[in-house]
Structures are given as structure tokens and as C-alpha cells.
């Protein structure tokens, strides 16, 4: 399912037409139902039905867990963590990429009933990594923030939105709930809205199919593989990944605006970042927001409360390493990505210490630093980016 | 959120916390002020800000409340609600 496939665009238009039909049903339910229809056309009825069964199973567990948690309130968190643990096991199973390793035969011999070959291909076909973070966001919201649980079909639309299935962005459960609270949509979109939608979709297609593909073809040939053997290759790969990923994200954003389905922005001029910390608020922003919402803020807040604000700087070292260790593992379960995540976390904790020191000295009010930072900051950040891309290059695709 | 508002004393204390934390002696707290407007107001210092406020005013914010704060106006009305509760 790629944006170059004409079927995708036919389905995208049909979805818009179907969503435009006025009914008395909630917006999230309508999108969930039409999304099921879209996935059926794009991925086949077996995968669409399998995904619906999986979501219904997840919904059933959450629903039962909420009932049990309501009876014994002290166990609510435990139930939430247990369901999250179950989803995490499936995620790890998916991330180990066993279908491409000799382990698959061993696994099939050990548990022939599991049909691992089918199950792993099924998860890979659905880009389960994104579904996993959406499941985690939904569980956090429902079990710890008392958000209402959507019905199974609405939840299906949240967890597997066809326009965000391939490469995100990571939409927030709470924002998806807001769909049902919005005022009646205008029957004809305003000119501003149409321009925003067209801008997002056309720039997305330009990024992906013109800029990213031109970069790849120019440097590596029409059928050439992107290999990294020097620092220049690393810089080209960073640019390619940006235009490819940001392209997909822009198209998804445009379709989200068209359907009025919350679809967050994912990139904001990341190469102009003045620090690595700044970079991660501009690159794959929706994932950064997910990590802040579900990992960084709760962990940092509770740890600082426990050890006192004087130790906040040291606590941030732990929180940053845990948060970015997760981001590394989310990309791939390998030592390379774990080390990448830990290094990113440590670097950002170090930046925080430098920033705190500079603020204490009053350097943040120095006009010289104010002028130099927008120029020197991106040089430093992009150098770190190129080094980090070279480090993980073998495991990016 | 609540419609309660902070009295002058509490507002002065809150402004003091912001000025010390962000080392900005001239900072004025208007309701529309957001993290983007204050250098150094990132997710790390957001947590520090909350802990400072909790310690100064003897209140407690939930994770959900901390995550939902959009601007100083939200923070002021949330704090005012906790102080009058």
C-alpha cells in the first residue's frame, strides 16, 4: 500500500465521499466503519478481518479490565499494565523480524498451532510498530487518565487509520476522541481548508517522489541500493530519510485534514534545530509527543517528587535514557539501536546540564549567543545527526 | 479547569518562580504566554516548574493536568482552583 498506487487514491476519494454522507452516527464510528472498508480494498478482506478481530479482542480485554478495575480500584493500574505487557509481547515478536531468520522453523516446530509464519507476515503488513504505540497511548488514556473507551469499530479507526498505517504519524487517543465533540462539519470545505489540504498533499508527493527519489537516483542510480561508506553518504541518507518520511507524513496530514480525522504534523524544519533536544521536537514530532506524554513526563515528575528538585538534573539522565532507549528499541530490537537510544538520551541530558549552567550564568540573555546560536547550533546538530545516521545506517531499512 | 482567579499575592509568587527558574527577571505572566515564548521552557523545565509550584503553594497536580497545560492562563486557573478547593 503506497501512495504511488492508483488504487490508494481511488480509495482515498471514495472514503471522502462516504464520509460526506450525513448520518446520525458519531464521527469516530463512521470513520471506523469506512476505514474497515478502505483496508478491505487495499489489503484484502483476510487482513482487514484479521485486524478487526485483533482490535475487537483488544477492546474486549480493555473493557473487561475496566469493569474489573472499577470493582477493585487498586488493581486498575495492574490490569492496564497487564494488557500493555500482552501487546508488548506481540510487538517484540514482530520486531524480532523472525520471519526472515532461521528461527522461524524452530518456532514453527515448537508451536505449530501458532502459525508464526502467517502471524508475523500479518503484523509486518499492518506496520504493527505504529499500532503498538497507539495501543499504549489508548491504554494510558483509558486506565490512568479516565478517558472513555471507544467502541470496537471506532477503536479500529483510531488504531489502524488507513492513511496513517504505513509510516504514521502517531495520533493521540485523546485527540481522536475529540472527533465526536467537534461541531458539525461544514458541508463544503472553506477555501483556506482546501488550500491547506492541497498544500499538504502536493508538498508530500513532491518530497517523496521528486526530491527523495531524485536524491537516491542521482547518487546511487535508478536501481542502486543506498549504502553508507563515508560521511557524505551518511548526510545523503539523512536527507533522503527526511524527504521520504516527511513526504509520507505530509500526505497523511492532508488526508487527515480532508477527513477531519486528527492527524498530527510530523516535521518542522528539523535541520535548523539548534540542539539535539530541539531536533527531537522537530523530527517525527508525533512520536516525540507520544514519548513525552507517556514516558518522559510521568517518569520525570514522579522521580523528581521522590528525590527532590535539587536532583532533577540527575533524574533527567535516567528519564532521558529510558525514554530514548525505548525509541531505539521501537526502531529495531538490536544492540545498535539500543546504544543509539542510550547515546541520544545521554547527549540530551548533557545538553540540559549545559543549558541550566548557561541560564544560571545569565548567558541566555547575551546578545552574542542570541546571534550565534541560530548559526552554530544547526552545525552542531547536523554533525551529530550525520554521525548517528552512519552508526545505524546498516539497520535503517 | 475552573473560572477561579489568582489573588495578587499568589500571582506575585508564581511570577517569582518563573523569573528564577528561567532566569528572566523582567518576565511578565500574561495568560497567552506559552512555552514557545520563554527560552528554556522545555519538557524538563516544565516538570521543574510544576514541582516548584507544588512546593511553594502546597498543592499537587496530576500527570494528566501537567500534560494538558497549554499556556500560563491554564496554569493560573488550575492553580486558583486548587487553592480555593
Residues of chain A in contact with residue B48, where contact means CB-CB under 8 angstroms, are 304, 309, 312
Domain borders along chain A are 6-178, 191-266, 276-395
Q: How many CB pairs under 8 A join A and B?
A: 51
Contact B48 A277 (CB under 8 A): no
The pLDDT confidence band at residue A284, using thresholds 50, 70 and 90, is: very high
**pTM score, whole prediction:** 0.91
- What 3-state DSSP class applies to B71? coil
Q: What is the pLDDT of residues B24-51, one digit of tens each?
A: 888 999 999 999 899 888 888 999 999 9
Residue B3 is assigned to a structural domain of this protein: no
Angle in degrees, 0-180, between the axes of helices B43-57 and A312-331, rounded to the nearest 10: 140
pLDDT, chain B, mean: 89
**Residue B70, burial from CB neighbour count under 10 angstroms (0-12, 13-18, 19+):** exposed
Q: What is the pLDDT of residues A298-342, one digit of tens each?
A: 999 999 999 998 898 889 899 999 999 999 999 999 999 999 999
Q: A260 with A365: CB under 8 angstroms?
A: no
Sign of the Cα pseudo-torsion (A241, A242, A247, A252, in order):
positive
Residue B64 is assigned to a structural domain of this protein: yes
Residue B36 is assigned to a structural domain of this protein: yes
CA distance A237 to chain B (A): 29
Contact A298 B63 (CB under 8 A): yes
Q: Which member of B24, B48, B63 has the closest CB to residue A309?
A: B48
In angstroms, the Cα distances linking A70 to A59, A174, A239, B22 are 16, 21, 50, 42
How many Å apart are CA A61 and CA A160, to the nearest integer? 18
pLDDT at A106 over 80: no
In angstroms, the Cα distances linking A129 to A88, A91, A332 are 10, 7, 10
Residue B60 is assigned to a structural domain of this protein: yes
Contact A309 B63 (CB under 8 A): no
**Into how many domains does chain B fold?**
1
Q: Which member of A145, A293, A352 has the closest CB to residue B44?
A: A352
Q: What is the DSSP letter of A141?
A: I
How many Å apart are CA A121 and CA A126, to the nearest integer? 9
DSSP A375-396: HHHHHHHHHHHHHHHHHHGGG-
CATH of the domain at B62: 1.10.1200.10
Structural domain boundaries enclosing B14 = 8-84
Residue B76 is assigned to a structural domain of this protein: yes
Those residues whose C-beta lies under 8 Å from the C-beta of residue B78, and which sit 6 or more positions away, are B1, B2, B61, B65, B69
Amino acid at each position: 500500500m503506497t501512495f504511488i498506487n492508483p488504487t490508494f487514491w481511488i480509495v482515498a476519494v471514495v472514503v471522502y465521499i462516504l464520509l460526506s454522507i450525513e448520518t446520525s452516527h458519531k464521527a469516530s464510528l463512521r470513520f471506523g466503519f469506512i476505514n474497515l472498508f478502505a483496508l478491505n480494498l487495499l489489503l484484502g478482506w483476510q487482513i482487514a478481518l484479521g485486524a478487526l478481530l485483533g482490535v475487537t479482542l483488544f477492546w474486549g480485554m480493555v473493557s473487561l479490565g475496566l469493569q474489573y478495575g472499577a470493582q477493585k480500584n487498586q488493581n486498575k493500574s495492574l490490569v492496564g499494565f497487564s494488557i500493555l505487557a500482552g501487546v508488548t509481547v506481540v510487538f517484540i515478536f514482530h520486531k524480532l523480524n523472525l520471519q526472515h531468520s532461521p528461527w522461524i522453523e524452530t518456532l514453527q516446530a515448537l508451536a505449530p498451532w501458532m502459525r508464526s509464519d502467517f502471524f508475523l507476515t500479518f503484523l509486518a503488513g499492518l506496520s504493527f510498530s505504529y499500532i503498538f504505540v497507539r495501543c499504549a497511548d489508548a491504554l494510558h488514556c483509558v486506565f490512568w487518565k479516565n478517558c472513555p473507551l471507544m467502541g470496537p469499530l471506532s477503536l479500529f479507526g483510531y488504531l489502524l487509520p488507513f492513511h496513517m498505517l504505513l509510516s504514521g504519524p502517531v495520533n493521540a487517543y485523546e485527540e481522536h476522541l475529540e472527533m465526536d465533540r467537534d461541531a458539525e462539519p461544514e458541508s463544503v470545505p472553506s477555501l483556506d481548508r482546501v488550500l491547506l489540504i492541497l498544500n499538504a498533499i502536493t508538498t508530500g508527493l513532491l518530497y517523496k517522489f521528486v526530491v527523495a527519489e531524485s536524491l537516491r537516483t542521482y547518487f546511487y542510480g535508478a536501481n542502486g541500493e543506498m549504502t553508507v561508506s563515508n560521511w557524505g553518504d551518511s548526510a545523503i541518507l539523512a536527507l533522503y530519510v527526511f524527504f521520504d518520511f516527511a513526504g509520507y507524513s505530509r500526505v497523511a496530514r492532508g488526508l487527515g485534514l480532508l477527513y477531519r480525522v486528527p492527524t498530527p504534523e510530523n516535521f518542522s524544519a528539523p535541520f535548523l534545530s539548534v540542539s539535539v533536544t530541539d531536533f527531537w521536537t522537530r523530527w517525527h514530532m508525533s512520536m516525540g509527543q507520544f514519548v513525552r506524554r507517556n514516558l518522559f513526563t510521568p517518569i520525570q515528575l514522579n522521580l523528581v517528587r521522590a528525590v527532590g528538585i535539587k536532583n532533577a538534573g540527575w533524574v533527567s539522565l535516567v528519564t532521558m535514557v529510558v525514554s530514548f532507549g525505548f525509541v531505539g528499541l521501537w526502531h529495531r530490537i538490536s544492540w545498535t539501536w539500543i546504544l543509539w537510544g542510550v547515546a541520544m538520551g545521554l547527549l540530551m541530558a548533557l545538553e540540559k546540564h549545559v543549558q541550566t549552567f548557561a541560564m544560571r550564568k545569565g548567558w541566555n540573555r547575551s546578545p552574542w549567543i542570541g546571534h550565534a546560536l541560530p548559526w552554530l547550533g544547526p552545525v552542531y546538530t547536523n554533525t551529530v545527526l550525520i554521525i548517528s545516521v552512519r552508526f545505524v545506517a546498516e539497520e535503517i531499512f | 479547569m475552573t473560572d477561579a482567579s489568582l489573588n495578587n499575592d499568589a500571582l506575585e509568587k508564581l511570577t517569582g518562580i518563573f523569573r528564577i527558574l528561567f532566569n528572566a527577571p523582567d518576565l511578565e505572566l500574561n495568560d497567552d504566554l506559552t512555552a514557545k515564548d520563554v527560552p528554556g521552557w522545555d519538557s524538563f523545565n516544565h516538570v521543574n516548574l510544576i514541582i516548584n509550584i507544588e512546593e511553594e503553594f502546597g498543592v499537587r497536580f496530576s500527570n494528566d493536568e501537567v500534560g494538558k497545560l497549554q499556556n500560563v492562563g491554564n496554569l493560573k486557573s488550575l492553580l486558583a482552583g486548587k487553592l480555593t478547593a
